[in-house]
Structure formats: C-alpha cells, structure tokens
Amino acid sequence: MEWLNTENLVAVGTAVLGIVASAGMLWYDRRVPRRKRIGYRVQMDSPIGDEARSGRPNPRLGEFDVPVMADATLVLLRIENDGSQSIVATDYTGPADQPHGLTAEFAGRTIQAVSVTQPSGIEHLTDHFTAERGFRYEGNRVYIPRVPLNPGHHFKLLVLLSGGEVEGGVKLIGGLQDGAVHRNSAARPDEKPRLFSFPARLFTALLTLAVLGLAGIIVFRDGNPIECEQGRLTVTGSTAFEPVVETLARQYEDKCQGADIAVETRGSEEGVAELSRLGRRSEDDARSVIAFSDGPMGERWGLVGEPVALSVFTLVVHPDVDLGEHGLSLRQVRGIYAGEYTHWGQVLPGREAIDGLPVVLVSRGDESGTRQIFQERVLKGWEKAPSTSLDCVPEPAGGTVTRCELATTRDVLDKVAEQPGAIGYSELGLAEQRGDAVREVPLDGDRPDDGQIERGGSRYPYRDVEYAYTYGARRPGSLAAGFLAYLDESTSQKVIRDKGHLPCLRDPALCG
C-alpha cells in the first residue's frame, strides 16, 4: 500500500487525534465542568389582560378573576437538571436557615398566582412543593423548595403576574455545590435544550474539518507523480542502489501508463562510463539513460549529476567470526586488506573460537562504487592483497591470504554467508536483509547505523552520497526528468529509507 508511509501515517494519526480531541471536548464540556447543573428557560411569557401594553392585540373569551387584569401576564418557567449527575436536597447552596433552594425573580412585576406541573411518570416532584419546605411567593419572587432532580427531570411553574412589561426580566437565583444554575434557551415550548455549548460545537466542527482536510490532502496528494511522462528509460550503474531504483521504477510504471523503465545495474563506474560513451555516439539515445553512482564519479565523464541519497555501507563477516561489540579498528581493517593476516587469530589474538579460522577477502571489481568508497573512506588507499582465487575457497596450505572479486553486492553477501572466515562489504540495507546469515562489523566501535548518522551522532566512516547522472541537463517533459522528479515524492522517500539509505533531496545538508 503506497500511501502507508511515515508522513501519511503522521497525517492520519493527527486526524484521528483531532477527532478524539473533538470528542473529548464535547465530553469535557458536558460532564467535567459543573457536572451538577440546573438549567431554566422561559417557555411562555404572554399577556392575558384587557390592554395590549406591549403593542400586541390580545383577544380573550371568558372571565379571568384577577384584580389588576388590565396588565396581567402568564409566564411558563421550566426548571430542569441538564447535567450528568443527580441533584439532592443538600446540593443546594441557599442559606441554611431558609428551607427553599432557588428563587425565581420576575423584575418589575407582581406575582398573583403560581401553579406547579410535573411530567408524567415523575409524580413525586410536586410532593416537595409545600409551605413547610419553603414553597411560597412574595412580591416579584417565587421561593422554590430544594427539589431533588435526576438527570433529565424537570418541573414547570405557571406564574400569573400583573404590572410590568411582557417578556420582562426573568431569572433563577441560587447555586449548587460543584455545579451551577444557568439559563437555557428554547424557541418553542418543550423543545429540548442543546446538549453542548456553542463554543464546543464550533470548536469541534472546525477542528474535525481541519484534521480531515489535512489527512485527505496528504494521503491523496501523491496519487500521481509530479511529472508523469511516457517513453522508455534505462537505469544503470550502482548495484548497491539497485533495490531502490527497481522498486521505484515499478511504482512509476504502475502510476504512469506508457512509461517503460528497464533497470540494468552493473556497477557505478561501468554505468557512468557507458552513459558517457553512449552520449558521444548519440545524444538522443543518452537522454533516455540515468546512471546511479556510489560517490561522485560522473563529473570526470562530463555528466550532470545530483545527490539523491546518503548511502551507508558496512563490512560483513561470516557468522562464525565473532568480533565483539567494538568490531575492528581502522588499523586492523587496513592490515587485513593489505594481506598482513592469514588467520583471524592473528587479527584478534586470544580468541580461541576464531584462532585457526582463515581470513577470506570477498571483494568487488574495480568498477564497483562500493569498493571505491571503501578504499577512499576506510582504507585510504587501494586493496593491496592480490586476487588469488576465483571461488573464494582458501588454499589448504594457508600460506597467503585468500582474496576473490565478485560482480555484485548480492554475490558478495552470498559468498560471505557460506564461506567460514569470509569478510566483505555491502550496502547496509542489503546486508540487513540477510538477517543472521552475516554479521555487520562496527568500525572503531561505531556501528553502521543510519539513524545515528542522520541525527549527527556518529563518526562512522563507511558512507557516501548516491548520485543520479544524466547526459546533460534533464530535458523537461522527458521520462528521465519525470522519474528523477518522482524521487522527491513522499512515497519514494519512504522507499529510499526502507532500503537503508537517507534521502538527500529534502535535506541537502545531510549529503553536503
């Protein structure tokens, strides 16, 4: 699955985290702060008098026995537990010497009568509305007992008032331990109040849209390469970088119909030399070839190159050669490849397990970039031990060190894995794929660790930059240009990492 890379996983993880955060915000808004809550709302505030003091006509039928009927109003006040916990009588914070728990105040009006209603199925609520429990009215206030309310339960006060303006100030006064009394709003009688506050709803909607948009953009951004071109392209050069280009070539072909990419790696030097020769014969033919090289060797052939990855290499030995955590010093490695040691016991005296084990040098040919980097970065010179064998099998006499040269990195790894006492070199990613079949060798105690190298915490020397060479500057619209641009895609960067290299294109300082 191409989208399953580090960048996309981070994006999708961010989206999931955002959704969880949104849900958490709603939960927090609903349950954590002020978990015990009494809400109230005015569901009706209507004139019933003879005059239309608010400017509203008020036709009536029948008799209303109210002394000051001219400016009378009816208010329906709903009081409800809209929190997440039950409220008991002791939760009310009114004065201890007063039996009531809440006070409904109607500013500018005088209370004439009060009626209490309760929903069906909750018959016990009205039992609390007695004078002994503090139920009474006086002036513009109704004193409400300490009524226990389970979550979702409510009762209503129908209050007949006189004087004042219709829809004048109405408020509920009181408090709750670990909670609050607050005003709700509703457009119609008995409409359910909103479960969550407006800020919570707005925050949740915006955050959810943002994180889903981020995830969608990143996941689907790489649906097609930056430059999807057609034609035929040959990729040659480094065998160490072959797993990367082979994988990316197949991915590019899958994404771009009409693109045909052949991977024919045969060594860094031979690849860039072949590209140079082809360019001298036919510039058009050379434009359809890319040569990858371990290290900067294309300039001497007149080619144009750019760094694409930092390649980490490693010495590998047969599993029988246990060199310990420190591995080999650079001096010991140079002595081994100079032919100074014929047995491992001479390299590390006192280790009985390897004392009589012959040293077998499994090398690459002169055209190998892996070998040239090994010579430049580790040996600081040429491999001095002569090639003495075609099959890397030591002579029975054991008088000289056995050394052979093989065509590819895979051949080296195969031979080191099967030949006791063998030592060779390989690109790190290919060596790691062999698991316990070979041992990686630390140099002066520094392990071949691409993570440590990327973080700048390693002096490990056996590494160099992988270059992509073309004959002249890449032509816009060519398959070579499209494929090289594809190396900068996030999916391609993941492939480069997965194969044991560190991408240069987005971190030029790493390959400086």
* Model pLDDT for residues 431-488, shown as the tens digit of each residue: 999 999 999 999 999 999 888 888 877 889 999 999 999 998 888 889 999 999 998 8
**Residue at 276: amino acid letter:** S
Q: How confident is the model at residue 96 (pLDDT cuts 50, 70, 90)?
A: confident
Lowest mean per-residue pLDDT among 16-25, 149-158, 172-181, 190-199: 190-199
> What's the average model confidence in pLDDT over 267-293?
90
pTM of the predicted model, to two decimals? 0.53
Q: Tell me, letter by letter, the H, E, C secondary structure of 164-177.
A: CCCCCCEEEECCEC
Please determine, for residue 290, whether its predicted confidence score (pLDDT) is greater than 90: yes
223: confidence class by pLDDT, cuts 50, 70, 90:
very low
CA-nearest of 380, 363, 357 to 425 is: 363
The answer to whether residue 165 scores a pLDDT higher than 90 is no
Name the percent of the chain lying above pLDDT 70.
79
Provide the β-strand partners of residue 501: 311
- Say whether pLDDT at 302 is over 70: yes
CA distances from 483 to 31, 231, 480 (A): 55, 11, 5
The b/e string for 449-461 (b: 16+ C-beta within 10 A; e otherwise) is: bbeebbeeebebb
How far apart CA 365 and CA 404 sit, in angstroms, is 9
For residues 357-368, average pLDDT: 91
3-state secondary structure of 173: strand
Residue 468 forms beta bridges with which residues? 292, 306
- Checking if the pLDDT of 225 tops 50, the result is no
**Nearest CA-CA partner of 292 in 5, 509, 501:** 501
Give the whole-angstrom CA distance, residue 433 versus residue 449: 14
